[in-house]
Amino acid sequence: MTAYRLASGGLIDRSNTIGFTFDGANLSGHAGDTLASALLANDRLLVGRSFKYHRPRGIVTAGSAEPNALVTIGTGARRDPNTKATVAELYDGLAATSQNRWPSLAFDIGAVNDRLSRFLSAGFYYKTFMWPAAFWEKVYEPLIRRAAGLGRTDLPRDPDGYEKSWAHCDLLVVGSGPAGLAAALVAARSGLRVILVEQDFALGGALLSETTKLDGEAPYIFSRHAIDELHGHPGVTLLPRTTVFGWYDDNVFGAVERVQKHSATIDAARPVERLWRIVAKHAILATGAEERPLVFGGNDRPGVMMASAASTYANRFGVAAGRSVAIFTNGSSGYRTAADLSARGVEIAALIDSRTDASDRAPDGVRVVRGGGIVDTKGRQRVRAVIADRGGFEEMIACDAVAMSGGWSPVIHLACQRGGRPVWSQALQAFLAPEVGDGLVMAGAAAGHYRLSECLDDGARKASAIVEALGRPVAGFERPVVGEEVDPSFTALWHVPGARSKAFVDFQNDVHGKDLGLALREGFGHVEHAKRYTTSGMATDQGKLGNVNAIGILAAMRGVSPAEVGTTTFRPFYTPVSFGALAGSSRDEHAMPVRRSPLHGWAARHGAVFIDAGLWYRSSWFPKAGEKTWRESVDREVRTVREHAGLCDVSTLGKIEVFGPDAAEFLNRLYCNPVLKLPVGKARYGLMLREDGMVYDDGTVSRLGETHFLVTTTTAMAAGVLSHMEFAAQALWPELRVRFLSVSDQWAQMSIAGPKARTILQAVVEDDLSNAAFPFLAAREVRLKGSLKARLFRISFSGELAYELAVPAGYGEAVADALMRAGEPQGLCAYGVEALNVLRIEKGHVTHAELDGRVTPDDAGLGRMMGTSKPDFIGKRLSTRFGLTAADRAQLVGLKALEADKDMRAGAHLLKDGAKPSTVNDQGWVSSVCFSPTLGTHIALAFLKSGRERYGEKIIVWDRLRGVETVAEVCDPVFVDPENRRLMA
């Protein structure tokens, strides 16, 4: 048995001893312990160091509001920094290390800050470190950064998995204490679908540490019966180790379940944490109440803890907070703790009650100091005495722990996350949750009902009302007989007068009473200003303990009620949630889905190098044996297409079928160029604008029948264009009879381009493909040899004689193989999007490199396409704005490199020869660049101010970012076959 472990009692399994380490020391505890209770049992009171002054700190609470006892749990890549020892379930092999100290927890150099603290008052850093200017980043900031922060991480890759789950219920009960259990029992018995969530690893809440008898037995017995019963109801889900962290619109709650955070060995098949999104018709917050610290001199000394925590450690964990405990209280809770500790044989050094008129009765033999207060504590790494003051008479009382009770605050956090402000209750001297509507109600201590009997009644009552609201008969709940109970009344005491040393309000961030006074003095008295200026309430506990005292102190100093001071804003997360839990399995390669073309396998068999294109993998080039660089492959592919023929996978283009009697009229309004009179069996280039007159997307429009069109989009915009079309059809012109079907995934589509394209294609197509029978821009269904129906379009991006052949996706590879075989004698090669890019640049065709959302059709040299005589099309009207028609707009031009040894790269800007670089002198920018094997030089597409008037001008291609400046000649963007002879061949 260890130093502070009581001889008996508690809900721990004394037969099951668990080994763990703290800062390398081998220690042991029992199943059912938290890390904090085990550390206390081992006389390890010093657990951490505070944020600013690096003061030694111990364990303050027995729950999730803990500000001090933060440790790093785990080793290697499984280290979890800033874990609260007070909620960490002890497991065999748990390895914990202390934080924010160097070189050791007991001797921390950073503690020098404490000696200098008078110079480090609230906001001191706003007033200094300004000289000399460069010193901030170089000297001061690194020092501050190193001193600040708590836990350490090297950001290693997390070996563990996470998952997400939805849940739906009639009633969500948050908290499994007396109110929560009573509510869950009533709802379950009434047949509701109930989810009961508890942040602790054990269900039962306060019943696990409460000593008031229920039906003559320890209250945890009642909780066990209740939980057993709940387990038997089919509609009930119990979620221990789960924290509801947020309340969102539509009564959706976010919760995180710690599935495997209590084990040294992780089952890789299961997540370590699971995120729940719980959709609840109703919710009851039975989240209890938080005990308030008292703000007295030296109240942060290790050994000073909440009175309720001292009771919990004794009653639930069988651990004494000390051998001789001084109790400081402003209400009856301190007496309760005195009784709990006395009953377990712990000596009470004194019970100091700030009230003079209290009638509470202390256990026999306990000395009570009424009307007194602690003004200081003694000891360094563990309290060894307190200085109590009563009416100016000071007395030193030896002790090795202090239990403090400053009253109670209902835990209302979740109820205030959606804009409702807490309401001050003068009677309870506490903030209560606002009325937030039917979906969420508070019950038990969270509603300000502190007595055990009230909690049980209130939980049952609130659940009954919900059952009724859902139109179900209410099942009965017979409240167990409650033994003698204490009404935890108190007299608010925000600040204990006469503090002889720092009296902390926010423990972790080292904000003490004088800091708040300074803030007020300097004009930062608004609660938000005080928080932001002093950092009170901004630590990892988000002020769960300290905020109410800060408000009370500000109120007292300003001479107003806490109601007038108000609270800072409650926001998610109730307690911190890991990135991993919130991200779930969407990470790494699985961050986004992968789309593969139906020709992916074909391309892979031909050795394609693939490249990301949005979600798609596209074949980029097809290296052949002996080719050392991608350029060699691409140059060969381009030359092969220009001289023989090539086959390119273009399946990723968006394909949308448009049907209906008004399909032509609809498309005529959608595209800026005319579509209405497009003949059946023909295709046309189509340009879509946004309503602001800028180019949105381009593609082809093919009329397959009088009332049937097929439009293509760029790969990137496929989804956007479909939505855009649906919006136009449903929200703009619902009177038009038109329907769409996205068939992007249904067709494998390949481009066969080059002078030999017709010969090759004719080998697999039954239909006559002669120029007369299938001219440029023909588009219709054809039959392949072997009778497969396909769609053939005589369109060209490369500028060559070219076709796009679409076959049902499942036939894609077979048809591509057949074409490759048929094309082999003709020199057909597979080519990828890199070669396609070169081919289209040579031909002056634009892609999204040019159409970047700021370009008009005229900018792109496509102004003549605009059907200005059409009565209406999207983008027509705003195209005529002054700025969109200005003569000095940047226009698409070609650039020919004049210096062969210098690179021209996309993203370069353009400058007049001899002009000084400046934003004003900036003439434009380069959108696409390639080496043209056809021309034997680098060429580019660029946007140049008034560019079409400047053909022949020599211009500086200015790429200072890469350190390259070169000269190019401005020219027409069509470098190859401007007469379209190849296209029409």
Partner 1 sequence: MRYSALSIFKQALAGNLGWKPAWREPQPKPHYDVIIVGGGGHGLATAYYLAREFGIRNVAVVEKGYLGSGNVGRNTTIVRSNYMLPGNEPFYEFSLKLWEGLERELNYNVMLSQRGIISLYHNDGQRDHYVRRGNAMMMEGVAAEQLDRETLKKMLPFLNFDHARFPIIGGLLQRRAGTARHDAVAWGFARGADRLGVDLIQNCEVTGIRREDGIVTGVETTKGFIGCNRLALAAAGNTSRVGEMAGLKLPIESHVLQAFVTEGLKPCIDHVITYGAGHFYISQSDKGGLVFGAEIDGYSSYAQRGNLATAEHVMEEGVTMIPGLSRVRVLRAWGGVMDMSMDGSPIIDRTPIDNLYLNCGWCYGGFKATPASGFCFAHLIAKGESHHVARALRLDRFERGFPIDEAGAGTQPNLH
Partner 2 sequence: MASLISCPHCGVRPKEEFSIRGDATPVRPAPMASDEAWNDYVHVRANPRGRIREHWQHVAGCRRWLVVERDNFTHEVFSVTDAAAARGGAR
Site residues for partner 1, window 884-943 (CB under 8 A)? 884-886, 905-909, 917-922, 925-927
Q: Does 365 bind partner 1 (CB under 8 A)?
A: no
CB of 279 to partner 2, least distance (A): 7
User: Would you give the binding string for partner 1 spanning residues 163-202, x where CB under 8 A is met?
Assistant: -x--------------------------------------
- Tell me which of 476, 734, 786, 978 binds partner 2, using CB under 8 A: 734
Q: Find out whether 506 and 536 touch, Cβ atoms under 8 Å.
A: yes
Which one, 121 or 489, has the nearer CB to partner 1? 121
The H-or-E segment that residue 340 falls in is helix 333-343
CB contact set of 220 (below 8 Å; sequence gap of 6+): 11, 204, 207, 208, 210
By CB under 8 A, the count of residues binding partner 1 is 125
Which C-beta is closer to partner 1: that of 63 or that of 488?
63
Instruction: Assess 961 for contact with partner 1 (CB under 8 A).
Output: yes
The H or E element that residue 173 is part of is strand 162-174
What the block records as the tokens of 542 is 């988000």
| Contact predicate 507/60, CB 8 Å | yes
**What distances in angstroms separate CA 275 from CA 164, 198, 442, one per listed residue?**
5, 14, 24
- Partnered with residue 257 across adjacent β-strands are 242, 274
Cβ-based nearer residue to partner 1, 248 or 481: 248
Q: Is 217 in the site for partner 2 (CB under 8 A)?
A: no
Tokens at residue 822, please? 């048929």
| Nearer residue to partner 2 within complex by CB, 528 or 691 | 691
Q: Which of residues 42-101 bind partner 1 (CB under 8 A)?
A: 51, 78-82
Nearest to 579, CA basis, from 160, 48, 88:
160
Residue where the block lists tokens 């009960």: 173
Contact residue for partner 1 among 14, 382, 529, 945 (CB under 8 A): 529
Residue of 731, 772, 887, 900 interacting with partner 2 (CB under 8 A): 731
What is the SS3 assignment for 540?
coil
| Residues between 626 and 685 with contacts to partner 2, criterion CB under 8 A | none
Q: Which of residues 843-862 bind partner 1 (CB under 8 A)?
A: 848-849, 852-854
Please, which residue, 6 or 278, has the CB nearer to partner 2?
278
Site string for partner 1, 670-689 (x = CB under 8 A): --------------------
- Which residues, 841 to 880, sit near partner 2 by CB under 8 A? 871-872, 876-878
What does 763 bind: partner 2, partner 1, none (CB cut-off 5 to 8 Å by kind)?
A: none
Q: Which is nearer to partner 2, 507 or 740 (CB)?
A: 740
149 binds, among partner 2, partner 1, none (CB under 5 to 8 A by kind): partner 1
| Separation between Cα atoms, residue 531 and residue 543, nearest integer Å | 10
Nearest approach in angstroms of CB 509 to partner 1 is 9
Residue 579 interface partner, choices partner 1, partner 2, none, CB cut-off 5-8 Å depending on type: partner 1
Map the footprint of partner 2 across residues 517-556, applying CB under 8 A. none
- Closest distance of CB 588 from partner 1, Å: 4
Contact 197, 307 (CB under 8 A): no
476 makes contact, choosing from partner 2, partner 1, none, with CB < 5 to 8 Å by partner type, with none
Question: Considering beta carbons, is residue 51 or 622 the nearer one to partner 1?
Answer: 51
Measured distance CA(869)–CA(858) in Å, rounded: 16
Give dist(CA 288, CA 433) in Å, integer: 12
Among the listed residues 356, 723, 770, 921, the single contact to partner 2 using CB under 8 A: 723
CB closer to partner 1, 702 vs 837: 837
Contacts of partner 2 in 228-257 (CB under 8 A): 248-250, 252
611 binds partner 1 (CB under 8 A): yes
Our finding on whether 419 is near partner 2 (CB under 8 A) is yes
Q: Which is nearer to partner 2, 735 or 888 (CB)?
A: 735
| Contact residue for partner 2 among 538, 582, 732, 818 (CB under 8 A) | 732
426 binds partner 1 (CB under 8 A): no
User: Per-residue DSSP letters for 807-847?
Assistant: EEGGGHHHHHHHHHHHHGGGTEEE--HHHHHHHHHHHT---
Nearest CB to partner 2, comparing residues 436 and 895: 436
279 near partner 2 (CB under 8 A): yes
- Nearest residue to 773 (alpha-carbon basis) of 788, 792, 747: 792
- Taking CB atoms within 8 Å and a gap of at least 24, the contacts of 474-478 are 474/186, 474/190, 475/186, 475/189, 475/190, 475/191, 476/189, 477/182, 477/185, 477/186, 477/189
- Report if residue 960 touches partner 1, rule: CB under 8 A: yes
Are 725 and 697 a contacting pair, CB within 8 Å? no
Q: Establish if 763 lies at the interface with partner 2 (CB under 8 A).
A: no
- Under rule CB under 8 A, residue 435 binds partner 2: no
Q: Which residues in 153-192 contact partner 2 (CB under 8 A)?
A: 166
Give the chain's end-to-end CA distance (angstroms, integer). Answer: 97
> Nearest approach, Cβ of 920 to partner 1 (angstroms)?
8
Interactions with partner 2, residue window 692-711 (CB under 8 A): 692
Which of 76, 103, 234, 883 touches partner 1 by CB under 8 A?
883
- Exposed / middle / buried, residue 378 (Cβ in 10 Å: 0-12, 13-18, 19+): middle
Q: Name which of partner 1, partner 2, none residue 279 binds, using a CB cut-off of 5 to 8 Å depending on partner kind.
A: partner 2
The option from partner 1, partner 2, none interacting with 79 (CB < 5 to 8 A, set by class) reads: partner 1
- State the Cα angle at 723 between 694 and 251, rounded to 5°: 120
Contact indicator for 711, 668 with CB cutoff of 8 Å = no
Residue 337 burial (CB count, 10 A): 30
Using CB under 8 A as the binding rule, the residues of this chain from 208 to 247 that contact partner 1 are 246
497 binds partner 1 (CB under 8 A): no
Q: Binding residues for partner 2, how many (CB under 8 A)? A: 25
- Residue 353 is inside which H or E element, if any? strand 347-353
Residue 51 binds which entry of partner 2, partner 1, none, with Cβ cut-offs from 5 to 8 Å by kind? partner 1
Query: Can residue 727 be called a binding residue for partner 2 (CB under 8 A)?
Result: yes
Q: Decide if residue 864 touches partner 1 (CB under 8 A).
A: no
730 near partner 2 (CB under 8 A): yes
Minimum CB–partner distance for residue 613 and partner 1 (Å): 8
Task: Write the interaction track for partner 1 spanning residues 277-296; mark x where CB under 8 A is met and - where it is not.
Answer: x-------------------
CA nearest to 904, candidates 955, 951, 859: 955
Q: Tell me the residue length of the chain.
A: 985
Cβ 114 vs Cβ 512: under 8 Å: no
CB-hemisphere CA count at 13 Å for 189? 18
- Tell me the DSSP string of 861-903: T-GGG--TTSS--TTTGGGGSHHHH-TTSEEEEEEEES-TTS-
For residues 166-200, one letter each, b for 16 or more C-beta atoms within 10 angstroms of the residue's C-beta and e for the rest, the string is ebebbbbbbbbbbbbbbbbbbbbbbbbbbbbbbbb
Task: Report the alpha-carbon distance of residue 688 to residue 885 in Å, rounded.
Answer: 18
Would you give the binding string for partner 1 spanning residues 382-421, x where CB under 8 A is met? -----------------------------------xxx--
Chosen from partner 2, partner 1, none, partner binding at 607 (C-beta under 5 to 8 Å by type) = none
Reported in sequence order, the residue ranges of 194-302 that DSSP labels E, i.e. its strands, are: 194-197, 236-239, 242-248, 252-258, 273-285, 289-291
Task: Give the binding site for partner 2 (CB under 8 A).
Answer: 166, 248-250, 252, 277, 279, 418-419, 691-692, 719, 723, 726-727, 730-732, 734-735, 871-872, 876-878
